[in-house]
Amino acid sequence: MAANKEKRKLSASPAVTAPEAKRNMVNKEKVKIHVSHLKKSFGKLEVLKDISNDIYEGEVVVIIGPSGSGKSTFLRCLNRLEDITGGEVVVDGVDITGKKVNINRFRENIGMVFQHFNLFPHMDVLRNITLAPVDLKKMSKEEAQKKGMELLERVGLAEKAKVYPPQLSGGQKQRVAIARALAMNPDIMLFDEPTSALDPEMVGEVLQVMKELAGMGMTMLVVTHEIGFAREVASRVIFMDDGYIVEEGTPDEIFNHPKEPRTIDFLNKVL
């Protein structure tokens, strides 16, 4: 509660050292995702060279870096949308890179939001959300629809339940996509440049939904170019370049006092 109130106050002045309040919510006892010496190549192209990191419960980790630095690939390795070349990814204590692991069960707990939304165009909005929970027998149809409506309410799109995705604006699509990812009750959410394909005036509505999600204590990994969002919401910022994590720290450390020349160079270009 206290943390929540603090956050409200802070969001009014995002530039101040925001992370202090939110770091309270991070449970440093519990590692949600443990990544060690992760490597990923596409043919001869080495995209991730050696990535090690621990993501704690309740953390909002924002990953920034130039294009081609491996940010998206890193995210996609965490739910095995990409098969990794080397190293290990451990989610909730289980190495998900093992051959015998039932990856589908793990993906239920890891929601993902894509740059291009990837809504299913042949299903209405509510069906987009209820498909996975009903099909995987996690909920009855009625339960899933009730939950779906709650989620749509939360992202402010309850009146669009029966509409087909092609009729939505970009911002609305992305909010539906977030609701869809939440329908399986994941405890980790991955966001792969969720606002990069949006018209500028729609970025805010999507970031607002993400902020609320962060406020509720969701563990989140966000690849984004929205520095404002990172400053305000991130508990930790990771700067990646050329397949490595170059620097990481609180938003204040990264944005106001970067140490590595490459970080400074990048921030000079985007800020």
What does the binding site for other proteins look like in residue numbers (CB under 8 A)? 79, 81, 104-108, 110-112, 114, 116, 118-122, 131-132, 135-136, 164, 166-167, 177, 180-181, 183-184
> CB of 41: closest distance to other proteins in angstroms?
17
Nearer to other proteins, 78 or 233 (CB): 78
- Output 83 or 150, the one with its CB closest to other proteins: 83
Q: Pull the structure tokens for residue 31.
A: 């590692």
Nearer to other proteins, 6 or 108 (CB): 108
Token pair for residue 149?
């409506």
Q: Backbone dihedral region of 232: left (phi > 0), alpha (psi from -120 to 50 degrees) or beta?
A: alpha
Residue matched to tokens 């589908």: 104
* Helices 125-135, 170-182: crossing angle, 10 deg rounding: 20
Please report, for the chain, how many H helices and E strands are present, in that order: 11, 10
For 131, the enclosing helix (H) or strand (E) is helix 125-135
CB 75 within 8 A of CB 153: no
Q: What is the distance between the alpha carbons of residues 31 and 187, in angstroms, rounded to a whole number?
A: 12
Instruction: Give the nearer residue to other proteins in terms of CB position, either 64 or 134.
Output: 134
| Residue 199 CB neighbours (<10 A) | 10
C-alpha distance across the termini of the chain, in Å: 33
CA distance 219 to 128: 23
Question: Considering beta carbons, is residue 61 or 184 the nearer one to other proteins?
Answer: 184
- Shortest Cβ distance from residue 110 to other proteins (Å)? 7
- Looking at the Cβ atoms of 114 and 239, the one nearer to other proteins is 114
